[in-house]
Amino acid sequence: MGAGKVLVTVAQLYNREAEYLRRLEAAGLDVERRIGQGGRLTEDELIDALPGVFATLASSEPYTERVFRAAPDLRVIGRWGVGYDAIDLPAATRHGVLVCTAVGANHEAVADYAVALMLALQRGIVANHRMLTGGVWQTVFRPAIWRATVGIVGLGRIGQAVARRCRGFDMTILAHEPMPDRAFVRAHGIELTSLEELLRRADLVTLHCPATPENHRLINRERLALMKPTAHLVNTARGSLVDETALHDALTTGGIAGAGLDVFEKEPRTASPLFALGNVIASPHLAGIDETSEAAMADRAIDAILAVHRGAPPPRECIVNPEALRPR
C-alpha cells in the first residue's frame, strides 16, 4: 500500500512516549496523535482528523455512518481495548473498514480490578479510611469475602478470570451466561443460574457481559429490587448495562449496600449524583489498564494495522466484522 497515516486517538498516549508506536513508524507510516477538547474526539472532530488516514489506533470516539462516508481512505480501526460499542459495525462493514479489538490483552487487568472493588466494598476499606481520617477510631463489623456468594454476569474471558480469583476465596460462584464453556464451569465448580436467581442469591454481583442492545440497562429498577439489601454491585464492563437513576435510588433507600463503578452511561464523566454517595466507589473507566495490559492492547491493535498495511488479514480472533475483508 505504500506510506500512509495512522491516527492515534487514545488520550493516555497523547503526551507521553510509547515505545510500541515506533513499530508503526518503522513500517514507514506517519503517526498523528489527536484528542478532543473533552478528552475524546467528537464526531465532527473525528471527521476533521480522518482525511488521508488509513488506520486508527482508536479509543471510544464515535465511528458513525457519517464518519465512514467522510473517510474513504480508512481501512482498519484497531481498538485500544476490547469494546466496540462506539462503532457502527454494519456501517464499517458496508464501507469495507475492518474493526479489530485487542481481545485477550486486558482481561486479567479487568478481573484484578473487579475483585479489588469487591474486596473494598465488602470489607469497607474506603469507608474505614474515611472514618479514621475523619477523626474516628472505631471497629465496624462488615461481611466477609471468604466463602461469600458471588454472581458473575457474563462468563467470557473476563468473567472466567474473575471466577478463578474467586475460587481462592472459597466463594460460592454463580454465573449467568447464555453460551457457557461447560468444561470451565465444571472445572471451577460454578453454578449456572438465571439472572434473576443470581441477583436474589449473590452477596456480590459483578458484570462482565457485552453492551448489546439486548443488554441495555440490563440492571434496571426491577432487577435491583431482587438483590439483597446487603449486596454490592460491581460494573467494570459498560455503563449502559446499568440504569444509573434506578441504581442511585437503590443505594440511597437501602435497596442494596453499595456499588463499585468503573464505567458510566455517559463518558467522560466528572460529575454524577452517584459520586456524592458514601457507599459508592467510582473510577474513570480504567479497570483494563495496567502497565502490562497497556502495551499488550497497543501491540494487538498495531499488529492488526500492520497486517492490513502489508495487505494481509489480521489475526482472525481480533476481527469483529470479517465480512469487511472483501476487496474494496
* Cα–Cα distance measured from residue 258 to residue 281, given in angstroms and rounded to the nearest whole number: 8
Q: What is the longest distance spanned by two Cα atoms in the chain?
A: 69
* Cα–Cα distance measured from residue 249 to residue 71, given in angstroms and rounded to the nearest whole number: 43
SS3 272: coil
DSSP string for residues in 196-231 = HHHHHH-SEEEE-----GGGTT-B-HHHHTTS-TT-
Are 208 and 154 within 8 A, CB to CB?
yes
Residue 244: alpha-carbon gap to chain centroid? 17
238 classed as catalytic? yes
309 classed as catalytic? no
Catalytic-role residue among 157, 208, 238, 300: 238
Are 315 and 299 within 8 A, CB to CB?
no
157 classed as catalytic? no
| Edge-first strand listing for the sheet containing 172-176 | 191-192, 172-176, 149-153, 204-207, 232-235, 258-261, 280-282
Catalytic-role residue among 33, 123, 267, 269: 267
Catalytic-role residue among 79, 285, 300, 309: 285
Are 241 and 211 within 8 A, CB to CB?
yes
Are 31 and 8 within 8 A, CB to CB?
yes
* Cα–Cα distance measured from residue 256 to residue 250, given in angstroms and rounded to the nearest whole number: 6
By CB neighbour count within 10 A (0-12 exposed, 13-18 middle, 19+ buried), where does 219 fall? buried
* Cα–Cα distance measured from residue 232 to residue 150, given in angstroms and rounded to the nearest whole number: 10
35 sits in the region (left: phi over 0; alpha: psi -120 to 50; else beta) called beta
Cis ω before 313 (30° cut-off from 0):
no
Strands 232-235 and 258-261: parallel
> Which residues are known catalytic residues?
238, 267, 285
